[in-house]
């Protein structure tokens, strides 16, 4: 039985993996920052050796996109330097490493869905530190390891766009949501299931990059409208431009990811975004 270490286990993706863990014949070790300090190489090595870890799924990330603009050091420690150490440990101990990255490694100026080989050019600190983590992993190159780029993650766990819209939809008569940023949401449960299913299938000499999000294309405005419709909330959603909602970090205007590679290589089906939203809202008890 494989021993799988899941870092960042209290986050959205880590929590979904934990919930699904009973459905898979793996032995799981779930850790958080307070139980395993990934900035300390010796501590990581000791943990891996003691628990005979075979696979690491790195869900740990500094995801406060706007805060990262003024806190680059903290973002770099988690998104870059910790990934570097995990890659070193994985290479030295012949461990599979699955690292979760982001659409923010792109600048969002594309006109067709991003493929894994497209040129990266992050707009802000969050994207830069995530890209630096990718580069460190690619350079160290632990065998049988992959990077999964994803976008617009939400879940029944943690804070996210879906939960925020439900809360605001109950509090307000109307709200403005950005319509000129386009991509696809990712239900963390779908990604968690995909990761657990593909673990035995990962066999590659060099680190490979894969894209994963739900199927379909929409704006944040479209997403909000559908949340209100499914939850039967009366709140009116109005479209606004990005410039009407300034933030410290610049968001990519276009972050649609092409998933052909991961679907073909691992023979997985990816759910349509509306079906996954429906499932999440039911789980939250908000589907009407």
Strand pairing class (218-219; 182-183): antiparallel
- How far apart are alpha carbons 155 and 218 in whole angstroms? 18
126 catalytic? Reply is yes
Residue 243 phi/psi, 5° resolution? Answer: -65, -20
- How far apart are alpha carbons 68 and 77 in whole angstroms? 11
List the catalytic residue out of 62, 126, 157, 212: 126
SS3 at position 239: strand
Query: Nearest 5°: CA angle at 253, between 251 and 254?
Result: 120
- How far apart are alpha carbons 90 and 44 in whole angstroms? 10
Residue 194 and residue 212 in contact, taking contact as beta carbons nearer than 8 Å: yes
Chain-centroid distance of CA 172 in Å reads: 29
The residues that are catalytic are 126
């Amino acid at each position: 039985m494989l021993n799988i270490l899941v870092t960042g286990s209290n986050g959205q993706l880590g929590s979904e993996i934990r919930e699904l863990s009973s459905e898979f014949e793996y032995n799981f070790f779930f850790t958080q920052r307070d139980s395993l300090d990934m900035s300390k190489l010796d501590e990581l090595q000791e943990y891996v050796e003691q628990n005979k870890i075979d696979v690491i799924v790195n869900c740990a990330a500094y995801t406060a996109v706007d805060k990262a603009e003024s806190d680059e050091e903290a973002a770099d420690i988690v998104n870059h330097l910790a990934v570097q150490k995990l890659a070193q440990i994985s290479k030295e101990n012949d461990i599979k490493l699955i690292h979760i990255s982001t659409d923010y490694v792109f600048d969002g100026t594309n006109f067709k869905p991003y493929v894994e080989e497209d040129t990266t050019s992050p707009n802000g600190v969050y994207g830069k530190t995530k890209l630096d983590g990718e580069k460190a992993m690619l350079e160290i190159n632990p065998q049988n390891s992959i990077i999964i780029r994803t976008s617009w993650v939400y879940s029944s766990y943690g804070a996210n766009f879906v939960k925020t819209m439900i809360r605001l939809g109950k509090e307000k008569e109307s709200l403005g949501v950005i319509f000129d940023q386009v991509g696809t949401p990712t239900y963390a449960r779908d990604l968690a299931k995909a990761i657990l299913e593909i673990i035995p299938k990962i066999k590659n000499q060099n680190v490979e990059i894969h894209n994963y999000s739900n199927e379909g294309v929409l704006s944040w405005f479209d997403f909000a409208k559908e949340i209100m419709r499914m939850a039967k909330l009366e709140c009116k959603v109005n479209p606004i431009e990005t410039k009407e909602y300034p933030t410290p970090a610049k968001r990519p205007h276009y972050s649609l990811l092409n998933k052909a590679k991961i679907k073909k290589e691992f023979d997985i089906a990816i759910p349509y975004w509306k079906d996954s939203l429906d499932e999440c809202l039911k789980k939250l008890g908000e589907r009407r």
